[in-house]
Amino acid sequence: MTLDATTRVACAYYNGSSAIPHSVHISLYGDALSIVDVESEEPKEIYFPYTECRYVKLEQQAFVYLQPSYTTYLVLPVQHPQYLQLLSKISSEQTSWFQKLYKKNGVALFFVFIITAAAMLFIGYKTVPPLLIKFIPVQEEIKWGNEFYESIVSDKEIDSSATELVKKITEQYSMSNQYPITVAVVKDSTVNAFALPGGHIVVYSGIICTMKHPDELFALLGHEATHVNQRHSLQMMLTNITSSYLLSIITSDFNGLGSTLIGNANLLRELGYSRKLEAEADWKGQEIMIQNKVNPAGMTQLMEALQAAYSDKGNWSFLRSHPVTKDRISESKKFSQQHASSFNTLPTEQQTAWEALKKLYPEKPTPKK
């Protein structure tokens, strides 16, 4: 076995049994790569043939799956000196049966393939996700969500101070009877927030800057918690996985299959829900607010604040994935009017925490039109 590269730079390795990565060194040989766990008391070199490896490229890193089961993988940053060479070696070993057949039969086969693939994708897209979701236990969904969360925030800076303040503000705010809802604040000017299957809600500091009142924070979390409770996030992921997985079966494109396993987790940052699911998240989110004695008008205030500040040239990922329409604002107002009641004021300790949060991320002036 010939060694092609000797430079040893550590990268993250997930062994399939833990969500905590190990620091490993990799070496590239003629027909296989090897890893050495530098954190092990007795480091051993483990070999993985390139023929069994697959990879998924994201913006600043690649996920290199070392076995067909996709349970063990490396996270390789683009700065790694062996990044391009390793991906090239894996790519050179991947040739699907469709690619081979296409070379022999040409254009006619291509059109037959497209028609067959389209039919399979349409059937799978419509029928598979609703069936699959019924057979996935909640505990399994929570486990997946924890793994997705670790993957998504790996390249983000969690603001621990802001996260603790949000936790204090919402400590009496019950959002789910089934899932352990946890909130993390990411230090990022992007206006965004999203929910992961199983209970994690990620809030970007940019969206906190648009808020004037704590009820808007409660509205945002109620909306995102509904996506968790109604399994909207899982449903959308299964829809994407179904399409990619069926296409992978046809073409043997295991890179596409790998993308569904980890790439879809990152797509949750800007996952676009249907109008129906967004409407459900709005009114069930407002129901959560009422159950917690919070004024549901906070949902309308949040939508109006986002819409008013949208002329800013910043990154508005939230409004691309959760478009605020006149209908949504109108329905939110109607809901609040139909459920007019007396609501609790924020206790002194929580109000103090809210003020501290807004000192960290004050409201930005609305740009002049």
- The domain spans of the chain are 3-92, 138-360
Q: Residues 69-110: pLDDT tens digits? A: 667 889 888 899 999 999 988 887 655 444 555 555 555 554
- Residue 100 CA from chain centroid, whole number: 35
The CA-CA-CA angle for residues 278, 280, 281, to 5°, reads 65
- Per-residue confidence band for 215, with pLDDT thresholds at 50, 70 and 90: very high
DSSP H or E run through 83: helix 83-92
What's the rounded mean pLDDT across residues 184-211? 92
Residue 339 to residue 173: CA distance in whole angstroms: 19
Q: Residues 4-63: pLDDT tens digits? A: 545 567 888 887 666 677 889 999 988 899 999 887 788 889 999 998 888 877 767 888
Are the C-beta atoms of residues 147 and 19 closer than 8 Å to each other? yes
Q: Which residues contact 224 (CB under 8 A, 6 or more apart)?
A: 193, 194, 195, 201, 281, 285
Nearest to 224 by CA among 318, 161, 156, 130: 318
* Residue 176 pLDDT greater than 90, yes or no: yes
Are the C-beta atoms of residues 308 and 366 closer than 8 Å to each other? yes
pTM above 0.95, yes or no: no
What's the rounded mean pLDDT across residues 243-270? 46
Residue that has been written with the tokens 């959308």 in this structure: 236
What is the per-residue pLDDT for 126? 55
- Per-residue confidence band for 277, with pLDDT thresholds at 50, 70 and 90: confident
What's the CATH architecture for 3-92? Roll (2.30)
What's the rounded mean pLDDT across residues 139-165? 88
Q: Residues 314-351: pLDDT tens digits? A: 555 666 666 677 888 999 999 999 988 878 888 999 99
**E-assigned strand segments in the chain:** 3-5, 10-14, 22-29, 32-37, 45-49, 54-57, 61-65, 73-77, 182-186, 193-195, 200-204
Are the C-beta atoms of residues 288 and 83 closer than 8 Å to each other? no
* Residue 166 pLDDT greater than 90, yes or no: yes
Residue that has been written with the tokens 């190990």 in this structure: 22
Between 232-251 and 97-134, two packed helices, what is the crossing angle to 10 degrees? 150
As to burial, measured by CB atoms within 10 angstroms (0-12 exposed, 13-18 middle, 19+ buried), residue 21 is middle
Q: Which residue has the higher pLDDT, 143 or 122?
A: 143
